């Protein structure tokens, strides 16, 4: 059973919520973030990317950066930019992006559930990134970036969400990327208990996005548990900030690939080697029509790549993923990319940028070949996580992104 808890959220002053809400810390570089905060003193980027208020050459992992996050957070609270709720609440976060709608519960997810694999994972984490998030959490004594969780949809929970959305929202604004953000406060005790009871009937939650945030929060929980002789498991540090969506509302975009060179092959040699693993045909379509099918762009022409029979194990939850098929049958054997996590000859382009971005990168000479992927499905994600395996890097790109700053979770 999954345990979730309400909490006393720290939230933006209603009049400036749209100015406070920011992109997640990990989708912008420091230069991009600095531009965005230039005319906005209330941007939550000043807390999740505090280097925007420091010298350009500052070490992003220095104590100075974490101390600046702490002081900015304190200033936002002192100036009533952020205000803490007096009662423990759940919250509901609705996003509308074109025709796509997703509604998630904002709650404290259990770090113990993460340890016990009730919250399932599908990605590896890197120690350096975990340490960065741990330092940020410790400096603020708070989770500022929500973990994106999902679960197998249940009608009973849909009904509760619909009931909550009958009330007037606390925030309702649209950002420059044309995503509408609607935020509700759930303070009714009976409704809170009903939500907790229904989530307790769920066998598993799944990390969709935010593996480093959830892993670092769990490590901090373990540290505090060891240091607290009176630990009960109910302390706020046992839970981390999350937004939990039903699986049938997930929007996954492709995570495309671009490569800088052909590993010494000319175009004809490259195509000859590809034909050992794939059938190749010229095409005018730039996006695959189904899983286990690819599009390749090179020398101003798109090609369809269809894996040949026997080139992968269709019964293996990882090996049958499109990203694994491409890696194991082309990127590694032909282009020599052994580890896409560390090889600087390959880069990954989120599907939100579209195939025009792939054409641009190849046509301007920065890369020589691009691969347009079919999105990983939520069922594939579940299959990998349920089997206890790990997806290849850059397998999923979720949209729309959750805004940071709409609510913050204190650890005590």
The predicted-structure confidence for 101-110, as pLDDT tens digits, reads as follows 999 999 999 9
Per-residue pLDDT at 94: 98
205-209/119-120 β-pairing: parallel
CA dist., res. 120 & res. 134, Å (int): 20
pTM of the model: 0.93
Kindly tell me the burial class for residue 291, based on how many C-beta atoms sit within 10 Å of its own C-beta (0-12, 13-18, 19 or more): middle
The CA distance from 211 to 216, in Å, is: 8
Q: CA angle, 310 as apex, 309 and 315 as ends, to 5°?
A: 110
Same-domain status, 128 and 19: yes
Q: Is residue 391 part of a domain?
A: no
Helices and strands, number each (H, E), in the chain: 13, 21
* 114, containing H or E segment: helix 111-115
Q: Residue 282 pLDDT more than 90?
A: yes
Kindly state whether residues 296 and 152 are assigned to the same domain.
no
Q: Note whether 182 and 156 are same-domain residues.
A: yes
- 15 — pLDDT class (breaks 50, 70, 90): very high
- Rounded to whole angstroms, the Cα distance separating 365 from 299 reads 10
Mean pLDDT, the chain, rounded, equals 96
For residue 27, the model assigns a pLDDT of 87
Residue pLDDT, tens place only, 175-231? 999 999 999 999 999 999 999 999 999 999 999 999 999 999 999 999 999 999 999
Question: What is the share, in percent, of the chain residues with pLDDT greater than 70?
Answer: 100
Residues 140 and 267 in one domain: no
Residues 198 and 279 grouped into a single domain: no
Residues 203 and 325 in one domain: no
Is the CB of residue 135 less than 8 Å from the CB of residue 61? yes
Same domain, 140 and 19: yes
**Same domain as 265, residue 181:** no
pLDDT class for 240, splitting at 50, 70, 90?
very high
Element (H, E) at 4: strand 4-5
pLDDT of 1: 87
Overall domain count for the chain: 2
Same domain for 68 and 161, yes or no, is yes
Does a structural domain hold residue 388?
no
Instruction: State the CATH number of the domain containing residue 331.
Output: 3.30.1760
Question: What residue numbers bound the domain in which 103 lies?
Answer: 4-251+399-410
Asked if residue 89 lies in contact with residue 187, where contact means CB atoms within 8 angstroms, the answer is: yes
- Asked if residue 341 has pLDDT above 90, the reply is no
β-pairing verdict for 90-97 and 100-110: antiparallel
- 261 and 246 together in one domain: no
Closest by Cα among 261, 255, 283 to 345: 261
- pLDDT confidence of residue 126: 87
Looking at the domain assignment, is residue 160 inside a domain? yes
Please check whether residues 225 and 259 belong to one and the same domain: no
Say how far apart CA 136 and CA 61 lie, in whole Å.
9
pLDDT at 390: 93
Name the pLDDT band for 299 (thresholds 50, 70, 90).
very high
pLDDT of residue 393: 85
């Amino acid at each position: 059973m999954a345990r979730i808890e309400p909490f006393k959220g720290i939230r933006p002053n209603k009049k400036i919520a749209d100015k406070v809400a920011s992109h997640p810390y990990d989708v912008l570089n420091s230069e991009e973030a600095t531009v965005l905060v230039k005319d906005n003193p209330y941007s939550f980027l000043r807390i999740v990317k505090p280097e925007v208020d420091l010298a350009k050459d500052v070490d992003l992992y220095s104590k100075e950066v974490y101390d600046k996050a702490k002081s900015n957070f304190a200033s936002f609270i002192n100036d009533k930019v952020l205000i803490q709720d007096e009662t423990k609440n759940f919250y509901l976060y609705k996003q509308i992006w074109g025709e796509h709608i997703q509604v998630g519960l904002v709650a404290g997810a259990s770090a113990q559930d993460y340890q016990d694999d009730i919250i399932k994972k599908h990605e590896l984490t890197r120690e350096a990134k975990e340490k960065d998030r741990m330092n940020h959490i410790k400096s603020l004594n708070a989770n500022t970036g929500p973990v994106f969780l999902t679960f197998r949809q249940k009608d009973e929970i849909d009904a509760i969400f619909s009931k909550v959305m009958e009330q007037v929202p606390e925030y309702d604004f649209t950002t420059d990327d044309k995503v509408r953000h609607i935020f509700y406060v759930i303070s009714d005790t009976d409704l809170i208990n009903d939500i907790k009871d229904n989530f307790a009937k769920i066998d598993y939650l799944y990390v969709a996005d935010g593996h480093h945030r959830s892993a670092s929060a769990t490590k901090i929980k373990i540290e505090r548990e060891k240091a607290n002789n009176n630990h009960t498991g109910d302390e706020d540090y046992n839970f981390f900030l999350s937004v939990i969506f039903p699986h049938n509302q997930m929007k996954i975009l492709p995570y495309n690939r671009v490569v800088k060179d052909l590993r010494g092959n000319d175009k004809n040699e490259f195509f000859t080697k590809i034909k050992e693993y794939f059938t190749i045909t010229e095409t005018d379509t730039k996006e695959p029509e189904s899983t286990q099918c690819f599009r390749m762009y090179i020398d101003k022409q798109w090609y369809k790549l269809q894996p040949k029979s026997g080139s992968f194990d269709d019964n293996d939850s990882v090996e049958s993923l499109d990203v694994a098929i491409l890696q194991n049958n082309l990127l590694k054997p032909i282009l020599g990319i052994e580890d896409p996590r560390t090889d600087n000859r390959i880069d990954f382009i989120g599907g939100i940028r579209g195939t025009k971005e792939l054409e641009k990168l190849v046509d301007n000479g920065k890369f020589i070949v691009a691969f347009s992927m079919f999105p990983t499905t939520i069922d594939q994600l579940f299959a990998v996580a349920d089997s206890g395996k790990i997806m290849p890097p850059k397998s999923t790109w979720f949209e729309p992104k959750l805004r940071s700053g709409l609510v913050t979770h204190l650890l005590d």
